[in-house]
Each structure stands twice: as C-alpha cells, then as structure tokens.
Amino acid sequence: MYHHEGEDVFILDSHIHLWDASEENIDHEGGEQFIQCFYDYHTAFTPEEHQWDLETYRQYGPEKMVRDLFRDGYVDMGIFQPTYLTDFYAEGFNTTDQNAELATEYPERFVLNGQFDPRDGDAGLQELERLKDDYGIQGVKLYTAEWRGDSKGWRLDSPEAFEYLEKCAELGITNIHPHKGPTIRPLNRDAFDVADVDDAATSFPELNFIVEHVGLPRLDDFCFIAAQEPNVYGGLAVAAPFAQNRPRKFGEIMGELLFWLGEDKLLFGSDYALWEPDWLVPTVMNAELTPEQREEYGVSLTTDVKKKIMGENAAELYDIDIKEKKRTLQNDAISQQFALEDGETAAD
C-alpha cells in the first residue's frame, strides 16, 4: 500500500513479467536482440542508481520479483502479461504456465493473464479453453508482432482473430491487452499499427481492449480511436517512466490521454522488469502537469485521478473489490513474510 498526502493508494500494477532471457534459453538471434533492446529501454529510463546489470536483467527469478514488487515496490497486486516468443526462446520468454507457478503460490497477489495467437488455428482455441479451465483467466495479452515461421505478425481485425475474440467472449475472458508499443526490432513495425483495434473494439462491445503502451509512437492514432470506442483503454507501461527523466513530456502525454480518453480509462503498469515500481510508483504519484498544460488540455492530474490510474480502474475491469482486498492482504503470506503491517510496505 502506498500512502500519498495522508491517503491510501491501492497499487494494482497492470503490467508485470517474469521472463527468462538467459543465454541457455535463447535459440534464435532475435531472442538476444530482443533482450538487448529491452535493456536499452531499461537503462534509458531508469535512474542510474536503480539500474540492473544485464545478467540480472536476463533472468531475475521469482524470489527477487516478489521482493521487488511487494516488499520494496508498494505494489498490492500485479497482473501477469505473458509474452511467449517461442520462436526466439526455447522455453518461451514469459509464458502463462511459467507465471502460473507464482500466481498459484500467491493467489491474492497476482492476476494471471493468458494469451492467444490466431495463427495456431483450432489447437490454439483449445489451448485458450485450457487456460480458462486451469487458471480461470479473465484476460489475454496479445503480441501482434510476434514472429511465427515465415509470418512476421498478425492483425486483430482478421477473420481468424475474430474467431478467437468470439471464443474469449464465450469463455468470459473480457480483458484484451494488445501490445501496441515502441518499435522493437526484430519485430515488424506495421504489426504495431493501432488501426486494427478500432474494428475489433466496435465488433466486440462486450470485451475491453486495453492498448498497452498507449500506442506510442502512434499516440495520436490511438487517442483518436479510443475517444470513439467506449471499450478502449490505455495501459501506461512505457509512458509512465517519462515522469522520471522527461517530466514535461510526461505531462503532455498525460494531457492528451486525459483529454481524449478521460481519467476512467487509463491503467498504470510498471512493465516490470523493464522498470521497477519502487522508484516508478512514487515518481508517478508525485508528477504534476504544469499550469500551462492544465490550461491547454483542460484537465488535471489530481490525487483522485492518480488513484484511479494506479489501481481503481484496473480493479474495475478485473472485478476486484479494493476494500475487501485490502482486508485480505493485511494478513496474507506476503504481508507475513515481509512483516508488512496494516498493508504498509517495509519501504515506507
């Protein structure tokens, strides 16, 4: 639990990973390029004293993750967003089954999301059913730019993808998180175009589409689509760390997002281990718009708005009763292990 100006702020980190980019797990040069590229983003937006060395970054393991999030990072709950990349990594980069180990050990602390890839055909549909049966998933993370043999990606508005979205609706998997973020080589740029979200969101009003990384660097296209579709949300992973070394830019991006989408449709995510919540949460909580930005956009980043972004909006999408959850967490295994009293973190 984070405290801000005398208030409790429930932190539901909507974007976390437990990945394995160890050299033994890499079986395609793309896997090495991928983690190197991630590491560039890590160092570019992390204060120097908080930067990890590359070896730690490749594979940090579940124990460190639990400490970083819950003991040191103020996080109350986290949502696992898997990234399979099975063409690059022998056992996958970050799969649902791998994440499930930790999610099963600490069920009160994690939300476990699955994924699908429409190129997997009928077998993929069955796999989606299995993920629902085994783990009761409420959401999926989608990586439309994932390489698969000769294919360099897929689109959310394709007939094949629609078949999967129908299956999600049928199974009650209501939160769809497409990654639409920075150009990450060696993945293809066009596969991160946000236009396909528009059609999918219109066709499936019963599903929520949380566009991860708010479409950066297609923020303008994303905002325009999201303003028209009531079921399109923005995940702030990648945008959030701007608050650290590009605060003015962070204000502008938040100004656009609050102007076009409003305060109920934005979700905080650290993207752990790209960035760590121990410095990121306070940085975002302390961020402000300049008076010029408040006037320009006609919006403000008040504590109430921040509370929505840091947890309440995601809790709404995942049917989490924050009051109830706070009671449960006071005494769960994590609180006991780290001697977190009254929901406070040891770092307080």
Cβ 311 to another protein shortest distance, Å: 25
Contacts 24+ apart (CB under 8 A), 287-294: 287/243, 287/247, 287/250, 287/251, 287/254, 288/251, 289/251, 289/254, 289/255, 290/248, 290/251, 293/251, 293/252, 293/255
- Residues 153/188, Cβ–Cβ less than 8 Å: yes
Please return the burial class of 148, using the count of CB atoms within 10 Å of its CB with bins 0-12, 13-18 and 19+. middle
Please check whether residue 178 is in contact with residue 153, taking contact to mean a CB–CB distance below 8 angstroms. no
Q: Nearest 5°: phi and psi at 148?
A: -145, 100
Q: Tell the smallest beta-carbon distance from residue 17 to another protein (Å).
A: 19
Closer Cβ to another protein, 249 or 327, answer by number = 249
| Residue number with CB closer to another protein (172 or 182) | 182
Rounded to the nearest whole angstrom, what is the least distance from the CB of residue 293 to another protein in the complex? 11
Q: How far is the CB of 30 from another protein (least distance, A)?
A: 10
Our CB check for another protein shows the closer of 255 and 311 to be 255
For tokens 């973020």, the residue is 181
Residue type, 192: F
SS (H, E, C) 119-181: HHHHHHHHHHHHHHHHHCCCEEEECCCCCECCECCCCCCCHHHHHHHHHHHHHCCCEEEEECC
CA 210, 214, 217, 222 torsion: positive or negative?
A: positive
Q: Closest CB to another protein among 214 and 315?
A: 214
Closer CB to another protein, 153 or 311, in the complex: 153
| Residue 188 Rama label (left phi>0; alpha psi -120 to 50; beta) | beta
For the bound state, the minimum distance from the C-beta of residue 260 to another protein, rounded and expressed in Å, comes to 7
CB of 248 to another protein, least distance (A): 6
* Residue whose CB is less far from another protein, 79 or 280: 280
Min dist. Cβ of residue 65 to another protein (A): 24
List helix spans (H) across 6-53. 29-44
Q: Which spans of this chain sit near another protein (rule: CB under 8 A)?
A: 33, 36-37, 40-41, 43-45, 152, 182-186, 189-190, 216-220, 223-224, 242, 245-249, 252-253, 255-256, 259-260
Nearer to another protein, 69 or 274 (CB): 274
Distance between CA atoms of 112 and 96, rounded to whole angstroms?
7
Alpha-carbon distances of 45 from 240, 275, 279, rounded to whole Å: 10, 8, 11
DSSP state of 254: H
Name which of 42 and 177 has its Cβ closer to another protein: 42
Greatest distance between any 2 Cα atoms in the chain: 55
Q: Shortest gap between Cβ of 324 and another protein (angstroms)?
A: 38
| Pick 248 or 327: Cβ nearer another protein | 248
Nearest distance in Å: CB 219, another protein = 4
Report the run of H or E that residue 78 belongs to, with start and end. Answer: strand 77-80
Token code pair at residue 243? 């608050």
